[in-house]
Amino acid sequence: MKILVQKFGGTSVANLECMKKVREKVLAGLARGNKMVVVLSARSGETNRLLALADEWSNTPDKAECDVLVSTGEQVSIALFTMLLKDAGVRARSLLGWQIPMTTDDDYGRARITDIDSAKLRAALEEYDVLVVAGFQGCTEDGRITTLGRGGSDTSAVALAAALGSVECEIYTDVDGVYTTDPNICSTARKMDRVAYEEMLEMASMGAKVLHIRSVEFAKKYKVPVRVRSTFTDDPGTLVTQEDSSMEALLVSGIAYDKDQARVTLHEVPDVPGIAAAVFGPLSEKGVLVDMIVQNTSLDGHTDITFTVSRKDLNQTLAIMDEVARKIGASEVVHDVNVAKVSAIGVGMRNHSGVAARAFAALTQEGINILMISTSEIKITILIQEKYVELAVRILHDTFGLDWDIN
Amino acid sequence: MKILVQKFGGTSVANLECMKKVREKVLAGLARGNKMVVVLSARSGETNRLLALADEWSNTPDKAECDVLVSTGEQVSIALFTMLLKDAGVRARSLLGWQIPMTTDDDYGRARITDIDSAKLRAALEEYDVLVVAGFQGCTEDGRITTLGRGGSDTSAVALAAALGSVECEIYTDVDGVYTTDPNICSTARKMDRVAYEEMLEMASMGAKVLHIRSVEFAKKYKVPVRVRSTFTDDPGTLVTQEDSSMEALLVSGIAYDKDQARVTLHEVPDVPGIAAAVFGPLSEKGVLVDMIVQNTSLDGHTDITFTVSRKDLNQTLAIMDEVARKIGASEVVHDVNVAKVSAIGVGMRNHSGVAARAFAALTQEGINILMISTSEIKITILIQEKYVELAVRILHDTFGLDWDIN
């Protein structure tokens, strides 16, 4: 049995006209001899409408009941789409999370998939040519509805492909693939034919909206080839897959950026053991995610600690840091919201030195001051003033030759 | 364990304000020492909104998928209401049809309940004080979602009460009980304290909107006492129950009417065996429901056959009758849409004669011409010209002393 998994997001199922385009994609998949598993999101705007109801009803909506509420969004999508398929004479049926069943833990609102009954799925694929599956939802072992968190439909699709044996998974969206950088700020941005899981992970964590980060982790873990493509064109899109030699030939595969950064510095912190825990422990307790961290080498037994957080968390962070500074005897807390980060990402970095130096040199040459640096095995991240972001992206894109197509 | 089942309709859960009134009713039930099963309908307008979507998507929406679609209406209601209960510190959870499970046959859109897992319900009532159940929906043995048809939430509630052992079932609605007749046309109409199942069935079949007819059949079969009352008052409402001696003391309990009637007559039908089948068979095949039927005694081997149908079915009926008349050799087909029927209903008729004669005399005295008559054990139905309906209702209400409260 040849199986293809396709996933369509909220904008692809927004209305009847869009859904008819989706049907064309599914019919084309059938015509190529596939049995199909089609995963749908809620129609665009629907999840937000339902969450707004929950917020109107309660200041602290019960999480389990919230999942019962919002899971109706996908239920509406799959019922309507299956009607369309049956109108076209396709042997199809809808499947809710509990009907598969797609078993998850009971962390309502951001549950993790623990098991998928693939034997039952395969049996259903004997009886039907298309299974239309509600994305984003699952159910606990004792039969309560859960949801996987925002972007969870991507994860549903990849998990189904993994359960069915690493069959290819096509994620349809309103862009035609993964780009070397944001085409809105860099006219030479180029759609990639292939990108490695690791690179996609780094891009997703930088806020690239194409794929949900958990779905990429899932795809990487179970080696599911994921193709990102557009509902509205026939472009083959971008294949997210295991790295291969052609990818390693590139130093850098993509440039990402994130403007949602605020920088906080504690000056003259006494450099004693446990100081990092004293600073970052209280933030973690309040659920504030810290992104980049730099600690200067000690001078006269004192040091400066600088880190960045999401701008929405800045006020809370400053309140916590004022208290921390008093406790540990730091001289002052300063902050800056006019900052942003730019990253160069590429599995090729593993085998090449000098990438960071080339990036720094290129930026400095154009007069861009580097505020913080953080590097990982396949990523270099640089914090700069926000006003330079677009310029920095174009410079790095050019420096690493991303406008050339060498695939 | 003392259990109370309460059911609230669409207008009772339409918005946050209404749902807070519902919560008061539930909290009052808890305060009286009950464990509660609360059955909710979809918020008013929601089911129609979803059905309109189905009609937009398909000319002949797949019935099974239609049930997947419309069942989301109740799912939204129970999730929101359970949030409200949990905000008030109540140990509550929502239950969908498949979670109970409320097993039905697979007649999608109008499924019949075949089994309810009452042991599982009772176990859940040990753990929770309130179970908030989605009305109107069930699931087949192999786990597909079904709905019970319009008004099905009443049936859900009564069936749950029956499964739990004939516990009392309160049906909350926007009227405060069952009236002797329509208060809009008869100012002396009186709310009844009690009404027999059989009487309620006859009233429901006459179009009284208070209770869904299937729920009354269910209540009668399993002897579930059903109390009809208002969400918006503290009135004790009307108890629908087994007939008792106080009811039998009344000749007539209520007067119902139905304006949705059209009369069709076939003149000079040859009076030979099988003629009724020749007339009514083709109507039945096309799904036309025939209401009253009168056949005059034969004269010269010919007879007249008169019957009534719903006005929406009139055109189809006339087309069929033209053909039937040609086939069987009737002289002509005539019809009249300016007719309506009025019924007097009461279990007391079983033990008293002369009720029909009193009704005819009262109407004739006021100059109302009787067009057709049909009687059953506990009902007398009279077809009259539509313009006399309100007058006839008031005359019969007065004739049988329904403005007196003898309970």
Q: What is the pLDDT of residues B212-270, one digit of tens each?
A: 888 999 999 999 999 999 988 889 999 999 988 777 677 899 999 999 999 999 999 98
Residue A150: half-sphere exposure toward Cβ, Cα within 13 Å? 6
Of B315, B321, B341, nearest in space to B261 by CA: B341
Tokens, residue B361: 């005399």
State percent of chain A over pLDDT 90: 77
Whether residue B131 has pLDDT greater than 90: yes
Shortest Cα distance, chain A CAs vs residue B293, angstroms = 41
Tell me the pLDDT tens digit for each residue of B31-60: 999 999 999 999 999 999 999 999 999 999
Which residues have a Cβ under 8 Å from the Cβ of A272 and sit 6 or more positions away?
none
pLDDT of residue B405: 57
Q: CB distance A68–B86 less than 8 Å? A: no
Ordered alpha helix ranges (H), B88-188: 118-127, 152-163
CB contact under 8 A, A86 and B62: yes
pLDDT of A17 higher than 70 = yes
**What percent of chain A clears pLDDT 70, i.e. is strictly above it?**
98
Query: Over the stretch A180-211, which tens digit does the pLDDT of each residue have?
Result: 998 889 999 999 999 999 999 988 776 566 78
Query: Torsion angle of alpha carbons A226, A229, A235, A241, nearest 10°?
Result: -20
pLDDT tens by residue, B184-208 = 899 999 999 999 999 999 887 765 6
Taking the CA of residue B19 and the nearest CA in chain A, the distance in Å comes to 9
**Least-confidence region, from A166-175, A206-215, B294-303, B380-389:** A206-215
Supply the pLDDT for residue B296.
Answer: 77
Q: What pLDDT is attached to residue A348? A: 86
The answer to which of A52-56, A71-75, A96-100, A164-168 has the lowest mean pLDDT is A164-168
Which residues of chain A neighbour B56 with C-beta distances below 8 Å? 16
Q: Distances in Å between the alpha carbon of A225 and those of A9, A157, A161, A218, B330?
A: 18, 12, 9, 11, 75
Domains annotated on chain B, with CATH: 3-242 (3.40.1160.10), 255-399 (3.30.2130.10)
A-chain residues near B99 (CB < 8 A): 143-144
Picking from A112, A76, A110, A114, the residue whose alpha carbon sits closest to that of residue A96 is A76
Task: Report the chain B residue with the minimal C-alpha distance to residue A15.
Answer: B57
A254-270 vs A238-241, strand pairing mode: unpaired
B109: chain A residues, CB-CB within 8 Å: none
pLDDT of residue A208: 60
Q: For residue B85, count CB atoms less than 10 angstroms from its CB and return exposed for 0-12, middle for 13-18, buried for 19 or more.
A: buried
Q: What is the pLDDT of residue B407?
A: 43
- How far is A28 from chain B, CA to nearest CA, in Å? 21
Average pLDDT over chain A, rounded to whole?
Answer: 92
CA-based nearest distance A395→chain B, Å: 49
**Cα of B138 to nearest chain A Cα, Å:** 14
Among the partner residues B53, B62, B94, nearest to A68 by beta-carbon distance: B94
Nearest to A69 among B53, B80, B87 (CB): B80
Summarised one tens digit per residue, pLDDT across range B110-124 is 999 999 999 999 999
Give A407's pLDDT tier (boundaries 50, 70, 90): very low
Give chain B's contact residues with A (Cβ, < 8 Å).
16, 19, 50, 53-54, 56-62, 64-66, 68-69, 71-72, 75-76, 78-80, 82-84, 86-87, 93-94, 96, 98-99, 143-145
Res B175: pLDDT: 85
Tell me the chain A residues in contact with residue B49 when contact means C-beta distances shorter than 8 Å: none
Mutation site, B38, B62, B142, interface A, largest A CB count within 10 A:
B62
pLDDT at A207: 59
Q: A interface toward B at CB cutoff 8 Å?
A: 16, 19, 50, 53-54, 56-62, 64-66, 68-69, 71-72, 75-76, 78-80, 82-84, 86-87, 93-94, 96, 98-99, 143-145
Give me the mean pLDDT over the B286-303 stretch. Answer: 85
CB-based burial label for A232 (10 Å; 0-12, 13-18, 19+): middle
Distance between CA atoms of residues B37 and B349, nearest Å:
37
Torsion of CA A310, A311, A315, A316, to 10 degrees: -20
Residues B53, A143: C-beta atoms closer than 8 Å: no
Which of the 8 DSSP states describes residue A179?
A: B
Average pLDDT over residues A34-61: 95
A-chain CB neighbours of B65 within 8 Å are 79-80, 82-83, 86, 93-94
ipTM above 0.95, yes or no: no
**Residue B348: pLDDT band with limits 50, 70, 90:** confident
Output b/e per residue, A343-362; b: 16+ Cβ within 10 A: bbbbbbbeeeeebeebbeeb
Give the gap in angstroms from C-alpha A76 to the nearest C-alpha of chain B.
5
Backbone angles phi, psi at B28, to 5 degrees: -65, -40
Segment B94-104 shows an average pLDDT of 97
Q: What is the mean pLDDT of residues A105-131?
A: 96
Ramachandran sector of residue B69 (left: φ over 0; alpha: ψ -120 to 50; beta: rest): alpha
Query: How many angstroms away from the CA of B119 is the closest CA of chain A?
Result: 16
Per-residue pLDDT band for A405 (boundaries 50, 70, 90) equals low
The token pair at B355 is 């009720």
Using the beta-carbon criterion (under 8 Å), do A54 and B87 form an inter-chain contact? Answer: no
- Which chain A residues contact residue B61 at CB under 8 A? 83
Q: How far apart are CA A321 and CA A318, in angstroms?
A: 5
Token pair for A247: 């990818």
Give the rounded percent of residues in chain B with a pLDDT score beyond 90. Answer: 77
Tell me which of B163 and A244 has the higher pLDDT: B163
State the smallest CA–CA distance between residue A158 and chain B in angstroms.
24
pLDDT of A276: 85
Cβ atoms of A132 and A38 closer than 8 Å: yes
Report pLDDT for B80: 98
Q: Compare CB distances from B69 to A60, A71, A76 and report the shortest one's residue.
A: A76
Comparing alpha-carbon positions, the chain A residue that sits nearest to B16 is: A57
User: Cβ-count burial of B109 within 10 angstroms (0-12 exposed, 13-18 middle, 19+ buried)?
Assistant: middle
Residues of B whose CB is below 8 A from A94: 65, 68
Of B58, B69, B99, the CB nearest to A143: B99
Using a CB-CB distance cutoff of 8 angstroms, which residues of chain A are in contact with residue B139? none
Secondary structure element (H or E) that encloses residue A134, with its range: strand A130-134
Contact B82 A65 (CB under 8 A): yes
Report in angstroms the alpha-carbon separations of A92 from A84, A293, B358, B397. 10, 52, 62, 56
Task: List the one residue out of B386, B364, B382 whose CA is nearest residue B373.
Answer: B382
